[in-house]
Structure 1
Amino acid sequence: MDELGLPEKLAADVEGGQCFRPPSTLCKGGELLDRILARGGKYSEEDAKAVMVQILRVTAYCHLQGVVHRDLKPENFLFISKDEHSLLKAIDFGLSDYVKPDERLNDIVGSAYYVAPEVLHRSYGTEADMWSIGVIAYILLCGSRPFWARTESGIFRAVLKADPSFDEAPWPSLSTEAVDFVKRLLNKDYRKRLTASQALTALGAVAKTLTITELGYVRDQFVSLGPNKSGFIFMQNFKSALLKNCTEAVKDSRVLDFVHMVSSLQYKKMDFEEFGAAAISIHQLEAMENWEQLARRAYELFEKDGNRPIMIEELASELGLSPSIPVHVVLQDWIRHADGKLSFLGFVRLLHGASSRAFQKS
């Protein structure tokens, strides 16, 4: 750990929404909070997006290393210069900690206005940082806090019980995408909250429906793995990158065992489209207000790219369904009777990764 409590592997000075070590760079642009106050508390959607992308990038980087910041707020982001489009630096990792994928932290730390509900319940992980980012996004767009009270205990009660208001100006005039983005970060159920990577992006055909901007972070991660001139990455790329950048938390998990286990697939290659498909969570996408439109567009692409006739037995085998399950009853609505091709209903359910266990419960 360095003098700020930041793990040494993360303490390097990296521009463009990465981690900040004070001795190496003097940030002359002041705090994000000062910029917010100077603007009278309101950012345009485009300006807010530029800020959020940088905040999400550094957060995604930290979370990938198993580090949760635990005190994200506008005061802890500094601009390098006074330029209007200056890059941001994240600071003050004094409260940060490592958290394993299957581990929950239980100490209440952070700033009251930005603390997540699960922190107050003393059981949280990296999702708590995403709540804090949701509070920052809310402030950027409307100039006021989503939860407010005169006392700290009052703030905590509001965080636990109250819902942020999206009825007053400027919310009705903002895009549905902006409102939906903030709502998905301020979801009191941390399991349904966006992760940093998902917030920066939004499964084969579904990935094609997203814009270049929405896939920007996934593209950055793909490029960092060193694709060859033909645009492919190989299993060895994953192994080398992971071994080079892994933290103690990763070493303690099963990730390295998995990499060694599949390293025999050294000739298996993956292009950006496949990489993007693997990086996007369908469960998070379906929480978006425009999910049905995304799914419809994805299905249209699926139809165009080769939705061929398929036998129910073939589909059942692909899903790994037990012979004891009456597959004809379960899957009959998945396939169109007219041409034997996968229906829209079947396509959507297939995206969820159907399993025999799921069928047994239904």
Structure 2
Amino acid sequence: MWSIGVISYILLCGSRPFYGRTESAIFRCVLRANPNFEDMPWPSISPTGKDFVKRLLNKDHRKRMTAAQALAHPWLRDENPGLLLDFSVYKLVRSYIRASPFRRSALKALAKAIPDEELVFLKAQFMLLDPKDGGLSLNSFTTALTRYATDAMMESKLPDILNTMQPLVQKKLDFEEFCAAGVSVYQLEALEEWEQIATSAFEQFEQEGNRVISVQELAGEMSVGPNAYPLLKDWIRSSDGKLSFLGYAKFLHGVTVRSSSSRPR
């Protein structure tokens, strides 16, 4: 997807997003510089066109669009009426099913703050999975895999992922919960309006899911050891023992203690 972003950038403006006289200079530019979207002809290019390229040229691969998301992007949507099932959704749903009730509450609050334009893709994915009686069962995911998967996908870990989604035999995912399961925190974080989204989500979480949590329990939620306790303590409000806004944002992100401690606080 990175390569498609580079090619799209060149086709739209006629120059490369990263320039250097030598191969090593180009690599350094990729690592240190950001593409220029200010000079001509970018001011005359549509906002959706620029957004398409920016979402592909994000240096964090977790924040880039998937192939299915790129094909469903508003810049291409009118030219591409068909839609692919995004199999990364399977991994996200599996993680959601295996998550603790506390984390699921945090994700549900986030889903309620997702901008409408971001919900378009999730709604399309939900419909591709062919919900029955308003919800998705394990059979929905199994049938969709059979219908849409390529041979390469069938030979990948997707069938194994299905085996870990057995709880869906007993319970269906409605659209609201599917959004909580299918949203990518990393991709939302890459949006310009991320701070507004996170703030709105935290307000929802305060009303519906935030509760008293100990440092030890939070460490268990984050899968980190006692050495993380001093850091995690800063994520819990001393006034009531619940997650602060900082703690909620970090908890959603699933950031490791090592990466957190390397950033300015």
Change (3 A) 1:288 1:265: closer
Task: Please give the alpha-carbon distance, in whole angstroms, between the structure 1 residues aligned to 2:261 and 2:223.
Answer: 13
Counterparts in 2 of 1:243 and 1:173: CA distance versus 1, 3 Å: closer
The alignment status of 1:344 with 2:251, answered yes or no, reads no
Report the CA distance between 1:300 and its aligned residue.
Answer: 1.6
Superposed CA offset, 1:292-320 (max 9, x none): 22211221221122322222233233333
Q: Which residue of 1 aligns with 2:187?
A: 284
CA contact (8 A) 1:128 1:190 kept: no
2:254 corresponds to: 353
- Which has more radius of gyration? 1
Change (3 A) 1:358 1:246: same
Deviation at 1:275, TM superposition (A): 1.7
TM-score when normalising by structure 2: 0.66
**Rounded Cα–Cα distance in structure 2 between residues aligned with 1:244 and 1:320:** 36
Q: Distance in 2 between matches of 1:194 and 1:159?
A: 23
Please give the TM-score of this superposition, normalised by the length of structure 1.
Answer: 0.50
| Aligned counterpart in structure 2 of residue 266 of structure 1, from 161, 164, 169 | 169
Query: Counterpart of 2:136 in structure 1: which amino acid?
Result: I
2:85 corresponding residue in structure 1: none
Q: Percent identity?
A: 42
Shift in Å, 1:219: 0.5
- The equivalent of 2:4 in structure 1 is 129
Match for residue 117 of structure 2?
Answer: 213
The structure-2 alpha-carbon separation of the partners of 1:189 and 1:348, relative to structure 1 and needing over 3 Å to count, comes to closer
The amino acid that maps onto 1:167 is E
- Please give the per-residue CA displacement for 1:305-353, whole angstroms capped at 9, x wherever unaligned: 232222223323333333xx24541311111011111101110111122
What pairs up with 1:307-346 in 2 under 5 angstroms? 307-322=210-225, 325-346=226-247
List runs of 5+ in structure 1 lacking aligned partners: 1-125, 149-153
Residues 1:226 and 2:130 are matched in the alignment: yes
Over 3 Å counting, the alpha-carbon distance change for 1:357 and 1:263 in structure 2 is farther
Structure 1 residues 233 and 265, CA, compared in 2 at 3 Å: closer, same or farther? closer
SS of residue matched to 1:204:
helix
Identify the match of residue 194 of structure 1 among 62, 65, 69.
Answer: 65
Instruction: Give the structure 1 partner of residue 208 of structure 2.
Output: 305
Indicate if the aligned counterparts of 2:214 and 2:241 stay in contact, CA closer than 8 A: yes
Residue 198 of structure 1 contacts residue 281 of structure 1 at CA under 8 Å; is this kept in 2? no
> How far 1:267 sits from its partner (Å)?
1.1
Q: Give me the whole-angstrom Cα distance separating, in 2, the residues matched to 1:284 and 1:209.
A: 14
Taking the aligned partners of 1:167 and 1:261, their CA distance within structure 2 comes to 47
Per residue, is there more helix in 1 or in 2? 2
Other structure's SS at 2:117 match? coil
* Distance change (3 Å), C-alpha of 1:275 and 1:134: farther
Shift of 1:256: 0.8
1:80-159 correspondence to structure 2 within 5 Å: 126-133=1-8, 139=12, 144-147=13-16
Pairing 1:154-173 to 2, within 5 Å after superposition: 164-168=35-39, 171=42
RMSD: 3.8
SS in 1 for 2:116: coil
Verify the 8 A CA contact 1:320 1:356 in the aligned structure 2. no
Partner Cα distance (1:145, 1:281) in 2: 32
The answer to whether the 8 Å contact 1:310/1:340 transfers is yes
Cα separation, 2, equivalents of 1:335 and 1:189: 28
1:183-206: per-residue Cα shift (whole Å, max 9, x none)?
3323467665332445558x4333
Q: Distance in 1 between matches of 2:219 and 2:122?
A: 32
* Residue deviations 1:12-71 (CA, integer Å, cap 9, x gap): xxxxxxxxxxxxxxxxxxxxxxxxxxxxxxxxxxxxxxxxxxxxxxxxxxxxxxxxxxxx
Q: Secondary structure at the match of 2:16?
A: coil
Larger RCO of the pair (alpha carbons < 8 Å, separation 6+): 2
